[in-house]
Each structure stands twice: as structure tokens, then as C-alpha cells.
Amino acid sequence: MPAFTTDQLTIALAVVGAVAVLALILGVVLAFRLRKVRRQFAVVRVGRQKTDLLAALGATKDEVGSMQGRVDDIASLQEVIRDELISGLKSVGLVRYDAFDEMGGRLSFSAALLNGRGDGLVITSINGRTDTRCYAKEISAGSSVHNLSEEELQAIELASSDAEQPGSTVAASQ
């Protein structure tokens, strides 16, 4: 085992001491810089409170997670509402006409009331000099098991075109 002289040990001790002093100085400088950075981030405000950036980010993450749950609830509710809107009556087609040559004023009419699937009914009122007759016929997917008059078919067609442009009532005359 080699033996070190006193001079060699002194030099080694001086080098180790110098490295330790440099490490201490570097540690103090880094501690001051870290303190400065923490002070800058500690000024973040959440609501009316001052808090540090990491706490603010954690609170924000929790709020976003809570909001995502609410958004999912709203999306499922929107689907339910959309299904209900499709099944409700939403389009109307109205055709007014003179059912008889001797009658004027277009008092007879056929009105189609349909939902988004083309289901609903056609109501027809035929006015004559002495009486008025009303008929209601079920419509399923735009057609009926009952015989439909030309005016009833036209009313269904108008209501079907109204379904493509919601929010308006379509009327036609003959």
C-alpha cells in the first residue's frame, strides 16, 4: 500500500476543501434563486385568496374534472330532449280548396300534422252548402293505410318539406 507524504495529503485536503466551498457557494446561490422563483409563483390568486401556483393548478384540475361530469350529464340530457322533440308534432302542412264547384271561399281544407319521423295525422274538413264533414286519418312514416285524397297527399308533402325547415307552417291553396 503506497504511503502518502504530508505534502500530498495537505494538497488533497486543500483540493477537497476548495471543492466543498464551491459546492457550498453554488448551493447558496441556487437557494436564493429558488426562493425568488417561489416568491414569483406564490403571488397567484385563486378567487380572493393568494396561493401558490401548484395549489392553484390542483384546484383548477379538480374543477375541470367536476365540470366534465356536468358536461357529460348535459350531453345525455340533450339526447333525451332530442328524442322527445323528434316524437312530438313539429310540422304542419295546410291545403285550402273548394271541394265543390258551386262553393267558393276555399272553406274546405286538409291539414297534416307530423313529427320528425313522418308520423301523425291528416285532418280534412269538407264544407258543402248544407253540411260539413270532418275526417282524421293516421299517418305513419309519411303514408296511411286509408285512402288519401290529392289534397291530403299535398298537405303531407308540405308538412314533410316543413320538417326539413323547422319553425314554419306551410300553407298552399288550390
The single residue listed with the C-alpha cell 291539414 is: 111
pTM of the model: 0.52
Would you call 43 helix, strand, or coil by DSSP? coil
Q: Which residue has the higher pLDDT, 118 or 47?
A: 118
pLDDT digits (tens, 9 = 90+) for 98-157: 888 877 888 899 999 998 888 999 999 999 888 999 999 999 988 899 999 999 999 999
pLDDT of residue 48: 66
Find the mean pLDDT for residues 21-43.
88
Task: Give residue limits of the domains in the chain.
Answer: 6-84, 88-173
- 142 or 170, which is more confident: 142
pLDDT band at 164 (very low <50, low <70, confident <90, very high): low
Label residue 26 by pLDDT band (50, 70, 90). very high
Q: Which helix (H) or strand (E) holds 50?
A: strand 49-50
Calpha distance 29→101 (Å, rounded): 105
Three-state DSSP state, 162: helix
- Beta carbons within 8 Å of 55's beta carbon, 6+ residues apart: 46
